[in-house]
Chains A and B, each alone.
Chain A
């Protein structure tokens, strides 16, 4: 090969790199391992983390995933394919995206969806930026975001939109119900508001009064950005039907649809909107069309919104998205269907109700809000949460998410979740262990 090139040796291929810049050694990288060695290492690392009984939700939910989902996703033809820019050689990925877009519109009740964003948090950030572009009546670039929205989503939205001068203003919630406070909205009467974000169910698991919030925003010229859990949409009113006119942009994390917890990713963010706003939407979109012979086929479309065409004037800089996870979500939805998904949602609600009942019967534990909820709940404890979670973990139970850092005003508050993946026996085991720990004079 060197002879064909006309180079004396491999080093000659790097002759244009100035000698003083060349790497001397990479002492900080260990020597290579073969596959058997690396798998032994990874088995050991995995064993260190164990398999605790999980009652944490807070934006990432453990569900049963049909075996077929990842058997298909892991096929090389999906797993190792490139972005479907060459449509003729990518019909499998493109048609799957089209089917995915169809399923997301069916779940959310809006007309169009994109081919995925990074995750739920970045989808909220993109939705805020999109709302500023789409709402031409508003010049304030002001987005109201209740404190009942996932704290990490709020933080990401802040980090992602600050550079473009968006003003994200937080709204208080009612201590009695855990819902966004109407009083907080009243402060904005007569002001220019670009968009209102509504999370349903909210971060506390509580159901918000979405109709009233949506109508309030629309009456004042603001767009509504819905942040939803896709599994909940099997039983909850779709954002397209909120209030008189429905939400304008719907986003969320697709993780509950067939994506394992996997330490926080990869998941996928989804986004749907009205047809009127499709040209303001970030990310890839697939359309159905015909080929030269008139046969149906699929292709990426409306690419003039995207960075590889529009460069500095694109709707977003996003290029690589979460394609493979979107495929998992599509297969999951096809497998479960509306009836299966409804069963999942109902099983989650029932199990969480059982969990809240069992735990709040213990002395020193009570439920924070009596409002209707989906599959999470806030519990108030009579002692510090962190040491209790540590003690539970020592017994193989991940007992929930400590709300102290993000919601200090709630006091010693714990967010718990039980999905269909938890059994009645799991709930009983948690209650039993917590009861014993609470009885001890001081937790470890």
Chain B
């Protein structure tokens, strides 16, 4: 499964005076004068290429990528499942694409109806009492959530609470978010069975506790069984519970964060609700809240007046929610992504929601069982896997000198995207594997064959594994050189 090799920079195709003239507007007859001091002296150094040059170049570049449409991504914590094309087709209808974010209510009712129904469906599947759609990614939703926790304490004149507790296995965004909100992150460990260390939690909470950020199932791929007790300890200490929605896919239709005692959460719509990852974005990080945080939700939020045929939708603004943490985006968040999530949820429907959690968990447990049979070691063998699980390659690294990174890179040669490696940090030489519900048994079996082959190679020809990948457009890249001899732009402009 090799990919094409290399492609020059777009600039290499440039020839003076060449251009996609069919794309240029008709030259204007009378262009107003720009004062000389504000005018550009020299044109920017953009490529001078034809339309065909552009199409061929970027099509070729696309072919240098792995993607869900072409490859299996067993990428733990990232939920790389199939993105139905209908979601894209619906969001790309000309009326939606052409709709200005500040259009009048008359030209907004269709779009707003979708957004309001999306809010309602997300409330239902999470057990939350309010949803705001504007955060544009998971980390952005985390910011909204922690900002709401701070606003809640401040509104109660409880000003000392600036500590956010996070498990050591948490996503890096959790402590980074705490910092952005002016809080201090305090890390607590997990016990040998992977559940939160309740004794450590009891000794950490106190009058400075603003809240705790958790995902459940945790980043260890297991359900936090003590969640009710965690909630009790944190609430009794005066703190609130934040649910990181990164792993919501595991429990969709099975258990709801609101019922577990969480006060606020974000949902990664680009994970659980299958909007595309787009090579790094856009995402959407809608936030849900329990009743006590309703006044603090970020703006704008879609509201409805009237029912059925008479329903009218509008945006709530500052005047409606004076205690809001404010506005987090220029307009209404990643509206086009939200439309895609809406279409996905309407296609899944009520019965489809629990199917997601069930088949994601079935695929995960099946893959774990098969990989264990093939000789791989689970990090938490005594626990039931959720939608993802961790293998530890510690003994392989010690005995053969083949690391988790080597195995991950060798998988690329066999046509599988690498699993998440070296996260969570507390498990040595780990692979975090999440197959998702949209993969077939045959795909999982093929992955097991590749993994078993690599395990064999680690014994018979370890250098092949250590030097992988061999069939990609490039071999391993010199990261040290990349950081030391910074080359971040073609023909950098001098200062």
Contacts and interface: CB of A to CB of B under 8 A. Distances in A.
B107 interface: yes
Given A33-B349, A49-B111, 12 more contacts: A21-B259, A45-B110, A51-B95, A59-B331, A64-B23, A79-B83, A80-B278, A81-B68, A89-B469, A236-B39, A327-B58, A338-B46
B233 interface: no
A418 to B, nearest CB: 11
B251 to A, nearest CB: 7
B384 A13 contact: yes
Contact of B139 (A21, A307, A398): A307
A94 to B, nearest CB: 9
Interface stretch (A66-74, A182-190, A215-223): A66-74
A246 B495 CA distance: 8
B163 to A, nearest CB: 12
- Report which residue of A38, A43, A87, A350 has the largest number of chain B beta carbons within 10 angstroms of its beta carbon: A38
A180 interface: no
Interface in A118-177: 118-122, 129, 150, 152-153, 155-156, 158-160, 162-165
Given A86-B412, A265-B334, A372 B33 contact: yes
A8 interface: no
Interface string A378-396: 0000000000011001100
Contacts of B150: 163
A43 B80 CA distance: 28
A260 to B, nearest CB: 4
B38 A319 contact: no
A44 B219 CA distance: 41
Contact of A237 (B29, B41, B86, B138): B41
Contacts of A196: none
A119 B329 contact: yes
Interface string B392-422: 0000000000000000110010000110000
A29 B475 contact: no
B137 A17 contact: no
A390 B366 contact: no
Contact of A113 (B97, B183, B489): B489
A80 B31 CA distance: 42
Contacts of A207: 34-35, 38
B19 interface: yes
B39 A92 contact: no
- Report which residue of B31, B354, B369 has the largest number of chain A beta carbons within 10 angstroms of its beta carbon: B31
Range for the number of chain A residues in contact with chain B? 35 or more
B331 A105 contact: no
Nearest to B86: A35
Q: What are the 8 tightest A-B residue pairs by CB atom distance, in nearest-first order?
A: A32-B349, A264-B331, A76-B69, A324-B278, A264-B101, A323-B280, A159-B326, A48-B110
Contacts of A102: 9, 11, 489-491
B348 interface: yes
Interface string B240-279: 0000000000010111100110000000101000001111
Contacts of B423: 308
B181 A163 contact: yes
B96 A262 contact: yes
Interface string B53-64: 011011101111
Contacts of B40: 233-238
Nearest to B39: A237
B328 A159 contact: yes
Contact of B280 (A83, A265, A373, A401): A83
Contacts of B473: 88, 91, 297
